[in-house]
Structure 1
Amino acid sequence: MKLILLVILTFNVIVSFAAECPDIPFVSNFQPKRFLGKWRAIQTTGLDMACGGFDISGPEGSGKYNVHLLPVKIDVKMRLNRPNDFSSGFTEESPIELMNKANLKIFATDYDNYAGVVECKNDDGLYFVSATISSRSGVLSNDIVQNLKAQLVNYGVDVSGFKIIRQDIC
């Protein structure tokens, strides 16, 4: 209960509602070991926060990866939906109910600079969709951000609710 209250007080959760989860392909030829490590959220439609990011480690047995949400220090597990097959994405195991059992797909990354992630959860017919654009350094060029947003629009994701996340105050 304290954890849920902490999350509610720390973040204003902003999600889009959709008729269904968008059909988003997982990044081709995904290299999970190169994706591990710290990522800084640059813009998101998910959690409205002053600063933040995540640190990914793993894998553990059966395709589970650990995700440590920063700065709130909440741990989330990502489990491959199908063993050794990244195309179907991950399922999140989270103490945050809105994120628990959400499907997560990494739709774009160059591993060293940027990553685009979409989460979608079907909750009794209501679909919650959030997207996050992240970088390793905490900054990205406007060209990269606009390119990732254009990809999201092509996948049917509403990008009008993107919020800028300032990393300089973390």
Structure 2
Amino acid sequence: MIKPGLLLFGLFGLCLGHTVHLGRTCPEVEPYANLSLDKVLGAWYVMYKFDTDNSCVRWNLTRTEHPDHIKLTETRQLSVLDTFGIDHTNTISANIEIANPEVPAKGRIRWPTSLSGQADFIIFDTDYDTYMAVFECNRAGLIHRRSVTILSRTQQIDDMFVRRIRRLLSNVDVPHEALDNISHTACNGDGVRNYHVDSELFGILPSIGDKQELQRRISTGVEDYDITELEIIGDGIEHAGTFTGNLKEP
């Protein structure tokens, strides 16, 4: 039997996979020009990602009922559970909102385990059939967090694509030493146990898209709160110090 503390520790490991930097300004990574979203849908193997020791990471991109939304389902094996020999997989679902249909390679993603709300989600390189590269960046208070993911349609990727992506990152001053190679050699398939996270912060925050409930929870009891700190909670902040919710009791 899996101890709850061990499982919780493993699930919070989902919040890793990024590097932390001072300042609120994200690097200017250019979205892939004239991206065809339909061509990047489907299954991908995550081959490299910033600062992670998890394995067997896969993405599946699918359309939703909303024309400007994409669903990202990530499946992985958590290193902490692998260490204890637990046959498992972990699945997490996130929503990508394409704010400007004319720039489909740039969206906003909200991971259910994120404490700091939405992040930029930028597809900056792909050939559709072989590889894809994604840059993510989100702002929380006086810091921002970056993540780069390199994906392949198969369980292998030619090193020339990895070198190309590293070069593109260098050109926009994004250090890439934190890119960790992800193994796909000892995967459990669907696993005996599958842990699926699809509600925000394990149910502490409301489900993706429930903005009215999120604003209600934020507004309750925070009349004297410093609104410049509220951005770390989520969607209620658009720019530093600009709160779009209600600061009074409902």
Q: TM-score, normalised by structure 1?
A: 0.88
Helix, strand or coil for the counterpart of 2:99?
strand
Which one has a larger percent strand, Structure 1 or Structure 2? 1
Shift of 1:12: 7.3
Q: TM-score, normalised by structure 2?
A: 0.62
Number of aligned pairs?
168
Q: Distance in 2 between matches of 1:24 and 1:101?
A: 17
| 2:32–2:105 CA contact under 8 A, matched in 1 | no
Shift of 1:17: 2.3
Note if 1:113 corresponds to 2:130.
yes
1:14-93 → structure 2 map (5 Å cutoff):
14-18=17-21, 19=23, 20-71=25-76, 72-82=90-100, 84-86=101-103, 89-93=106-110
Which one has a larger percent helix, Structure 1 or Structure 2? 2
Note if 1:156 corresponds to 2:173.
yes
Higher relative contact order (CA 8 A, sep 6+): 1
Query: Which ranges in structure 1 are unaligned for 5 or more consecutive residues?
Result: none
Q: Distance in 2 between matches of 1:143 and 1:5?
A: 36
| 2:37–2:105 CA contact under 8 A, matched in 1 | no
Helix, strand or coil for the counterpart of 1:129?
strand
2:12 maps to which of 1, 4, 8: 8
Q: Distance in 2 between matches of 1:23 and 1:12?
A: 23
Helix, strand or coil for the counterpart of 1:106?
strand
Q: 1:142 to 1:160 in 2, by over 3 A?
A: same
Shift of 1:93: 2.2
Percent identity, aligned pairs only?
21
Code of the residue aligned with 1:74 in structure 2: it is I
